[in-house]
Amino acid sequence: MMTNIIQYLKDKFTLSEVNEVQVKNGVHVYEVLKEGKKYYLKYFEKKSDAKEILCYQALLRTEIPIIKFYETTENSILLEDMTINHEYRIGCEDDFRNPKAIKSVAKWFKQLHALSYDKTVNFDFLSEDDVEFKQDEITLCYEQYGNDDFFNLLLSVRIQFNDYLKKSDKILSHGDFYYKNFFVNRTDNEVVMFDFNYMKKGLLSEELSLIRRNLRNRSKESEEVFIKEYGDYDEVEYEIYSIYRHVSCLLGALSIENFPNWAVESKELLDAGILSRNLISTKSKINS
């Protein structure tokens, strides 16, 4: 199959050389040569993943900085190698501690999220996520973890929280913020995101939560730089989503034999009563 893919790409794009860099979940990334010049090429085994091509095509009609693309088929896209002239480099972990890069990240995402309200650009092909507290899932967590205070409180506000989230706007979400998914300008630290394989419509809070967690894991100051640069957002929605995320982690951990590291924080917050206090505080803000 691999040989068939490479031959297909060589023929479609008239390539002289194709070297695989990465393959993950049916998404192949190649370094390729075309007319003596180096490019990157992505090939998607699954049609659902090939929506990334549509993302590039839609974003091209906006002013948001993205990697240039040159040719496409229904399941592959030829992309610019932004490192070829040494003006840009791939992101690294240190960028999560670099205030200039973090500010650029905030500006890029602010620009992306603003596109959600631009009726001239069509992103109808993207799926839309719903975030909802479900009674049976809360009950299951209660049965497994105990903690009457938190889960009984959550059951009592479940409908109220769900109603709040249903009224919240859905934004365009990149969905995969990570330093290996952006390029950085060597001169001014301008960031250009790429890899739109997880792009969707969802809550702003979900996107901000992922970005803030990744930055906070390196330093609290990095998270604060991002928040200040990004600006206003619905703090109540963010708090409700944070509770939802912790419950989702606790629920997901139940299906794994050895308790996973990614759910440890949620369990600690539950046991310490912090989730209960956060829930009470959030409920008060909605009712005020």
* Residue 213 belongs to some domain of the structure: yes
63 with 108, same domain: the answer is no
53 with 143, same domain: the answer is no
In 8-73, where do the E strands start and end?
17-24, 27-34, 37-44, 69-73
The residue with tokens 């031959």 is 7
Structural contact between residues 237 and 203, judged by C-beta atoms closer than 8 angstroms: yes
CA distances from 4 to 76, 157, 179 (A): 14, 55, 32
* Residue 130 belongs to some domain of the structure: yes
25 with 95, same domain: the answer is no
CA distances from 77 to 9, 60, 68, 172 (A): 10, 14, 10, 21
What DSSP character marks residue 168? S
Q: How far apart are CA 46 and CA 247, in angstroms?
A: 31
3-class SS of residue 247 = helix
The stretches in the chain having pLDDT less than 70 are 1-3
* Cut 0.85: pTM above it: yes
Alpha helices in the chain (DSSP H): 2-13, 51-59, 99-114, 135-145, 148-167, 204-216, 220-230, 235-253, 264-271, 274-287
Token pair, residue 250, equals: 């606790």
The residue with tokens 């957002």 is 233
3-class SS of residue 78 = strand
Q: Give the pLDDT of residue 2.
A: 57
Interacting residues of 28 by C-beta distance below 8 A, sequence separation 6+: 5, 20, 22, 42, 43, 44, 45
* Residue 197 belongs to some domain of the structure: yes
* Residue 266 belongs to some domain of the structure: yes
* Residue 252 belongs to some domain of the structure: yes
Number of domains in the chain: 2
Last residue of a domain, one of 26, 54, 81: 81
Last residue of a domain, one of 81, 102, 128: 81
Last residue of a domain, one of 81, 101, 129: 81
97 with 77, same domain: the answer is no
Q: Give the pLDDT of residue 120.
A: 84
186 with 137, same domain: the answer is yes
Q: What is the pLDDT of residues 163-205, one digit of tens each?
A: 999 999 999 999 999 999 999 999 999 999 999 999 999 999 9
Q: How far apart are CA 133 and CA 159, in angstroms?
A: 8
135 with 262, same domain: the answer is yes
Q: How far apart are CA 188 and CA 104, in angstroms?
A: 9
Q: Give the pLDDT of residue 194.
A: 92
Q: Give the pLDDT of residue 271.
A: 94
Identify the domain containing residue 22 by its residue range.
2-81
56 with 187, same domain: the answer is no
Structural contact between residues 51 and 125, judged by C-beta atoms closer than 8 angstroms: yes
Structural contact between residues 238 and 171, judged by C-beta atoms closer than 8 angstroms: no
Q: Give the pLDDT of residue 3.
A: 61
* Residue 243 belongs to some domain of the structure: yes
98 with 47, same domain: the answer is no
Q: What is the dihedral of CA 230, 274, 93, 237, to 10 degrees?
A: -30
The residue with tokens 């990240």 is 105
Q: Give the pLDDT of residue 58.
A: 94
Q: Give the pLDDT of residue 270.
A: 96
Q: Give the pLDDT of residue 288.
A: 82
CATH of the domain at 61: 3.30.200.20
Structural contact between residues 282 and 243, judged by C-beta atoms closer than 8 angstroms: yes
131 with 272, same domain: the answer is yes
Q: How far apart are CA 254 and CA 145, in angstroms?
A: 10
Phi, psi at residue 58, to the nearest 5°? -70, -45
* Residue 171 belongs to some domain of the structure: yes
Q: Give the pLDDT of residue 13.
A: 95
Q: How far apart are CA 42 and CA 33, in angstroms?
A: 14
209 with 142, same domain: the answer is yes
CATH of the domain at 120: 3.90.1200.10
45 with 95, same domain: the answer is no
* Residue 86 belongs to some domain of the structure: no
